[in-house]
């Protein structure tokens, strides 16, 4: 038996809204992208209502799209400046036009990782979210925010993850012996078990050899000389 669709009244036009997955258009700075979104949709006016996990998924997709557009515009601006400089220096460098064209072509490829790609790289490196934040930088919950889509990842962090994704062995440079704290050594462990130094001789001085400081204080230098002579005689 086919399950009956969930419905509710549209708050805009009063028509029936059906709970289903539809194409939703997101826009940012003149750029558009269509994503599949689950929610209540009105067949009359096109109004949509998102709640719960579908709403979070939609916001996550929007943040990823926004980061991608920002990066594309930044690289396009950089490419435009490079092209202008190359045209001015065309006589000095015949390869300038070709290099500028390569920069423009490269700017068409987004380098910002999506939240699910960030999680994929982190798991590939066998790092927890906390450990990844400690090694690669960011706040304590940085990778949790990146992977949940609440905070867009920066361009340098995205580039670093892309490099580690291509060559995971580079992670050893961040977790090598140079960054491992040396264990603390106790005072007993600092003394060698078999020392070449001869043991010091302890000389016992009788009570009669000690003069009372009230009668005549004995100079410190004389007391040391007496102790050394006694040790030598023994």
Asked whether 82 and 97 are in contact (CB, 8 A), the reply is: no
pTM greater than 0.75 = no
Residues 67 and 83 in one domain: yes
Residues 23 and 71 in one domain: yes
Dihedral over Cα of 47, 49, 53, 59: its sign: positive
Q: What CA–CA distances, in Å, run from 185 to 5, 41, 188, 189, 202?
A: 69, 68, 8, 6, 29
In a domain, 134, yes or no: yes
pLDDT in tens, 175-186: 765 443 444 443
CB atoms within 10 A of CB 11: 11
CATH code, domain with 57: 3.10.20.860
CATH code, domain with 162: 1.10.260.40
Residues 48 and 97 in one domain: yes
Helical segments of the chain, H only: 52-88, 96-107, 115-124, 129-136, 142-148, 155-166, 172-175, 187-190, 220-233
Q: What CA–CA distances, in Å, run from 100 to 68, 111, 142?
A: 22, 19, 36
Where the chain has pLDDT below 70, the residues are: 1-5, 82-111, 176-234
Q: Quick one: pLDDT at residue 19?
A: 93
pLDDT in tens, 53-101: 999 989 999 998 998 888 888 888 877 776 666 666 555 544 445 555 5
């Amino acid at each position: 038996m086919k399950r009956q669709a969930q419905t509710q009244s549209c708050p805009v036009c009063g028509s029936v809204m059906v709970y289903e997955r539809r194409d939703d258009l997101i826009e940012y700075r003149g750029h558009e992208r269509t994503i599949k979104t689950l929610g209540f949709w009105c067949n009359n006016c096109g109004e949509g209502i998102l709640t719960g996990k579908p709403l979070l998924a939609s916001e996550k997709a929007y943040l990823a799209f926004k980061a991608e557009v920002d990066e594309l515009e930044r690289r396009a601006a950089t490419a435009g400046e490079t092209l202008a400089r190359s045209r001015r220096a065309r006589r000095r460098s015949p390869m300038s036009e070709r290099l500028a064209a390569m920069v423009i072509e490269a700017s068409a490829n987004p380098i910002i990782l999506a939240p699910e790609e960030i999680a994929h790289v982190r798991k590939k490196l066998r790092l927890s979210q906390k450990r990844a934040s400690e090694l690669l930088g960011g706040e304590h919950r940085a990778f949790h925010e990146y992977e949940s889509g609440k905070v867009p990842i920066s361009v340098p962090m995205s580039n670093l993850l892309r490099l580690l994704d291509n060559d995971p062995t580079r992670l050893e440079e961040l977790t090598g012996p140079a960054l491992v704290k040396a264990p603390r050594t106790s005072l007993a462990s600092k003394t060698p078990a078999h020392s070449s130094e001869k043991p010091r001789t302890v000389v016992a001085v009788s009570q009669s050899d000690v003069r009372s400081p009230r009668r005549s204080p004995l100079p410190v230098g004389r007391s040391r000389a007496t102790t050394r002579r006694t040790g030598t005689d023994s």
